Chains A and B, each alone.
Chain A
Amino acid sequence: MTVTSSPPRDTDAHYKVWDVAGYADVPRETKARLFEQVKGDLRFGDYLYGCYECGICVGACPSAKFYDFSPRRIAQAAAREDVDLIYQQMQEDIWDCSQCFSCVRCPRGNNPGGIVTIMREVAVRNGLASAKEALVGYTRIIYKIMSTGTQVSPDMLSKDSFPDWGPETADVADNLDLWRRALPPETMHTTTTGWSVAESTLIELYLIWMETGALDMIAEVDPGLHTILLELMEERLEEAGFEV
């Protein structure tokens, strides 16, 4: 079944109370287009069959314990092709999912967490306000991973870098060495090794970021970062003899 464009609001399957929504409404065509992108994802058919509305996924879901989040509602909205509710979920619910995939214990073989993965990717690719907000604290991490190909190292835990990580970050950052030494395993060695990546590996990674569209995914959500990374990658690739 395809989503038809812009039927009158009174044919919507469900009542919506838009004036309490924490985001601006958009035309129905936009919502339908976003859902078409979700549904068009190669994985979608394997992630959604039909929903019993039994709630086994909700019982398994850690996020459902703490947030107004329900993997059942994710599967139901997708199955009903309720583009209004799906849009609402892309602006709100999907960022409450911890992507642990406990929900895959579905008797019908659904993967609500997987649907959330696709919805997040579509939200990021389309620069939805919720995606920008959710990723704002991760700018530095994205920059680190995509430019150096490595993870965050413990010495990056400065309060300036992660304003959204809460007040305890400041304490941890101020006394990082002490905290780290209190942990039984060795943890500080990554501060040096974490920054070193072989030239050939980095070139390969840059090619992957660019060829797969991973780099362009952030173009809408953080244009500044996208520009910085693009220039950095192009320069390095050209030096290495690749035509970009």
Chain B
Amino acid sequence: MSSDTVAVIGGGPGGLRAAQGIADIGHKVVLVEKQRYLGGSPITQKYYGLTPRGEPAQPQIQQQIDLVMANPLTEVRLGTEVVAVDGEAGAFTITLRTEAARDETFECGAIIIATGFSHFDPGRSTQMYGYFEFPDVITQPDLEAMLSEQRVLRPSNGEVPERICFIQCVGSRDRQIGNEYCSKVCCGVASKEATELREMLPDSKVLIFYIDMRMYGYWENEIYWPAQEKHHIQYVKGLITEVLPKGDRLLVRGEDTTMGRPMEVLMDLVVLSVGMEPSPGTRDLARLAGVRQNKYGFIDAPGTPLDPVSTDREGVFACGAALGPADIEDTVSSAAGAAMKAVGYLRSRAVAKAN
């Protein structure tokens, strides 16, 4: 039997926006979230400020959660995983599993996969930059959590870091690692975090080592220029070759390419600007829903660029970072697009059936 309910899998910024959109235009929506709370990566990873403008992440995301919770057409299932997708477009049966109860199913006409990304794990295969070896080598999300706690200290000795650097493109744009794509957000996030560091630790010196800064649109004048001009963050074009221990600090080696000379710099804290990979949930849902993934594991949108949210399977849509690297702005935009596509699909089916 056909259903006019839409299932949204994943309760991050994209899933929240998709659920809002579907309910706003009068369709029932079931929002399924694996965690026991909504909000996705910004909440799980304890983001401090949202890129680009740096507003506090928690209250911003909470507003979106409140909008979803306030709508009577929305049913939210927390601590719940999708373990099977059966049926056909217009009449899917989704099997849910929780820790406590027995598996249960519900019917829906369309599915939006909003299962997002995982940060690249710099210790996974190559031990990049000694991430597991040196406590003072951390990742961007590690730093977000420190900033949120207003305690940015060197993990090795608890001291306030004086010299901090970011290494860009860790796990992105790398044929050897297999992630050939640009993760889009890390330049902006690094610049945002660097700015927050300079505000929190005014005596610190902050450097960003990069291949090329990708500060598209307003990120240019809203993040990059103030970071450089107002906060005196040093941008050095050159990818870091290796991080080595030296005394109780870290020696960062690379080339200062525009100055044309090798460099070795001592750092108190090294932040790896880790890129995006498809989350385990994205891989699982792609498999369960039977939609095609690209070579990196993100969900394929064959109709892009003009239809960037439809998968290769009828009635199944995706949004945000399940489709590939995306910032929050892109994520909620594609989520709203996916909501329209899903509802549009159900309504056009109903019209066709009535005729």
Contact surface of A with B, Cβ cutoff 8 Å: 1, 10-15, 49-51, 53, 55, 72-73, 76, 79-81, 108
Contacts and interface: CB of A to CB of B under 8 A. Distances in A.
A34 B200 CA distance: 29
A50 B225 contact: yes
B229 interface: yes
B237 interface: yes
Contacts of B207: 13
25 contacts: A1-B205, A10-B266, A11-B266, A12-B265, A13-B234, A13-B263, A13-B265, A14-B256, A14-B259, A14-B261, A15-B261, A15-B263, A49-B228, A50-B224, A50-B225, A50-B229, A50-B235, A51-B228, A53-B237, A73-B259, A76-B259, A79-B234, A80-B234, A81-B232, A108-B225
A50 B207 CA distance: 14
Please name the 3 residue pairs, one residue from A and one from B, whose CB atoms are nearest each other, closest first.
A50-B228, A53-B258, A1-B232
A12 B252 CA distance: 12
Nearest to B202: A1
Nearest to A108: B225
A53 B228 CA distance: 12
B217 interface: no
B314 interface: no
Interface in B219-255: 224-225, 228-229, 232, 234-237
B158 interface: no
B258 A72 contact: yes
A15 B237 contact: no
Interface of B is mostly: strand
Given A1-B205, A1-B232, A81-B232, A15 B225 contact: no
B264 interface: yes
B237 A79 contact: no
Nearest to A77: B259
Contacts of B262: 15
Nearest to A55: B258
B225 A49 contact: yes
A51 B229 CA distance: 9
A211 B256 CA distance: 45
A50 B229 CA distance: 5
A14 B234 contact: no
A81 B205 CA distance: 11
A72 B228 CA distance: 16
B65 to A, nearest CB: 38
A12 B163 CA distance: 11
A49 B265 contact: no
A72 to B, nearest CB: 7
Contacts of A53: 235, 237, 258
A55 B205 CA distance: 25
A1 B233 CA distance: 10
Contacts of B224: 50
B282 to A, nearest CB: 36
Given A11-B265, A13-B207, A14-B261, 8 more contacts: A1-B205, A12-B265, A13-B234, A49-B225, A50-B225, A50-B229, A51-B228, A80-B234
A199 to B, nearest CB: 50
A108 to B, nearest CB: 8
Interface in B158-178: 163
A73 to B, nearest CB: 7
A49 B229 contact: yes
A49 B220 CA distance: 14
Contacts of B235: 50, 53
B229 A14 contact: no
B222 to A, nearest CB: 14
Given A49-B229, A50-B225, A79-B228, A14 B266 contact: no
Interface in B261-276: 261-266
A45 B288 CA distance: 59
B263 A14 contact: yes
Given A11-B163, A13-B265, A76 B232 contact: no
Nearest to B206: A1
Contacts of B256: 14
Nearest to A49: B229
Nearest to A48: B229
Interface string B189-223: 00000000000000001010000000000000000
